Amino acid sequence: MLYLGIDPGYGRMGYGLIKQTPKAGKPEFIDAGVVETASNLPIGERLEIIEKKTAELLKKKKIFACAVEEVFFKKNLTTGVKLLQARGVIILTLHKKNIPLIEISPTSMKKMITGYGAADKRQMQKMIARILGLSSMPKPDDAADALGLAICSWLRTKNNRLK
């Protein structure tokens, strides 16, 4: 079974794809990367790129479930609104493809991966690499975060908890 994680973004969306291995206790790395939209494009075109690229990710293989990070913003309302619009496009695309959605807060992801809800980026990346048997984390950080979300998707479904 394949599990997808998406770190939503308006300018850059991270994605991570893992699969359950025959050995019941360990996921395996498949792919990770980012989808970028050019800042000079109109908002409609940028959202369309996010929708098309998300749909392409879902076509590649049969995705069992997808975790999308919940969004929290405190400072820049304009950036936050654009991020929420991108997240909405991602969620709608998942819905249209009948892919179960798992929403995960950053704190929940940190706790699931490291056991500590306030873990820093370095701690998170070390644990993600360890879980997936990687010698180093994929770059940029958005792709690494998406892999963490994919692992959370796998853990939640493994424990029959899609919510």
Annotated catalytic sites, by residue? Answer: 7, 69, 142
The DSSP secondary-structure symbol of 100 reads P
* Tokens 């991270």, located at residue: 14
Cross-strand bridge partners of residue 35 = 13
Element (H, E) at 81: helix 77-96
User: Alpha-carbon Rg of the chain, whole angstroms?
Assistant: 15
Say which residues have a Cβ less than 8 Å from residue 94's Cβ, sequence separation at least 6. Answer: 54, 58, 66, 68, 101
b/e 122-140 (16+ beta carbons within 10 angstroms → b): eebbebbbebbeeeebbee
Among 158, 136, 150, 163, which Cα is nearest to 25's?
158
